[in-house]
Amino acid sequence: MSKIMKIKNVSDYSRYLGHTDRHPLVSVINYAEVSPIRHSLNSYSVYGIFFHDQQDIDLTYGCGKYDYKSGTVICVAPGQIGGKEDNGERVMLTGWALLFHPDLLRGTPLSKNIKQYTFFDYRVHEALHMTDEEHDIFVSLMQQIRNELQKPHDELQNAILIAYIELVLNFCQRFYNRQFTTRKLENSDILMKFNNLLNDYYEKNTQLTLGLPTVQYCADKLCMSPNYFGDVIKKTTSDTASNYIRQYVIQRVKNELATGASIVQVADDLGFKYPQHLSRMFKRQEGLSPKEYCERLRKKSRMFKQQTGSTPSEYCERLRQK
């Protein structure tokens, strides 16, 4: 069984590395100053942002493995496990670590807003890969935070530290946005796999046992965290993954209603728990009820028949025969 070190406070990690903190809730560590270091598999009760310049390391993160290469940023949040179990090996590292306790943020806007930084819940293989310019920005920010920590504590220091931390998080978000943009081809491939997955979901009748497809199901099948998957779809389509699924399902609802199927039958076929659920979703997405939609279809069909002498389906059949 793996030996896991509990990081309840920033000092727990610092003490393991032989680093002395200047603040009980914030720690900035320059790995070059504490190397060589031993590995540790950690259970975090604090937030952490880690990056290094050299030495590729095979890390465990959650239930997976990751080859942690230079220029990579890994972000962890309370409740997560990451690192590498101590095997006696001592490695030389250059890079930085920023750790801060949730208590530092208590009562501040960032305490609530930190949930918006979804990269804390990304899986490790979805880590941020920095450009040289981005790396230099991170190093500069780490140095500025450390300089602030070395000053005598006063009533403004915590506010200044929180401002620096928020700046780091915003740069992380900007760099992730850049990474999404530079991986457009890869993201387009993910979107194609997403569509294929939704098609397979219904072709294999998965909805009959699991109900409607969910973001969690799709993310798991594509080997992504739900947050990262959602962000990729948002950047690619300008829409949320959940709404993308709803639009896909509604299109299937329309197709079945056009065949003359009843609302109850369509709801049962597509995995809705109740017909009322289908009606509510349809009304929210389309602005009219399924019943009103069917009436429109019948009206259009009557008009089409008056103009052509046949129904739309009869007309299409004639075209196929030609």
Shared domain for 223 and 104, answered yes or no, is: no
Shared domain for 12 and 61, answered yes or no, is: yes
**Domain end (from 182, 199, 225):** 182
State which H helix or E strand residue 298 sits in.
helix 290-308
**Number of domains into which the chain is organized:** 2
Residues comprising the chain, all counted: 322
Confidence label for 41 from pLDDT (cuts 50, 70 and 90)? confident
Shared domain for 84 and 174, answered yes or no, is: yes
Shared domain for 80 and 126, answered yes or no, is: yes
DSSP for 44-109, written as a single string = ESSEEEEEESS--EEEEETTEEEEE-TTEEEEE-TT-EEE----S-EE---EEEEEE-HHHHTTSH
User: Residue 297: inside a domain, yes or no?
Assistant: no
Shared domain for 35 and 173, answered yes or no, is: yes
User: Residue 211: inside a domain, yes or no?
Assistant: yes
pTM, 2 dp = 0.65
DSSP for 137-186, written as a single string = HHHHHHHHHHHHHTSPP-TTHHHHHHHHHHHHHHHHHHHHHHHHHHTHHH
**Domain end (from 182, 210, 241):** 182
Residue 228's domain spans which residues? 185-287
CB atoms within 10 A of CB 26: 24
Confidence label for 178 from pLDDT (cuts 50, 70 and 90)? confident
**241 close to 233: Cβ distance less than 8 angstroms:** yes
Shared domain for 82 and 195, answered yes or no, is: no
Confidence label for 316 from pLDDT (cuts 50, 70 and 90)? low
Shared domain for 81 and 200, answered yes or no, is: no
Residues 229-275: pLDDT tens digits? 898 898 888 899 999 999 999 999 999 998 889 999 999 999 999 99
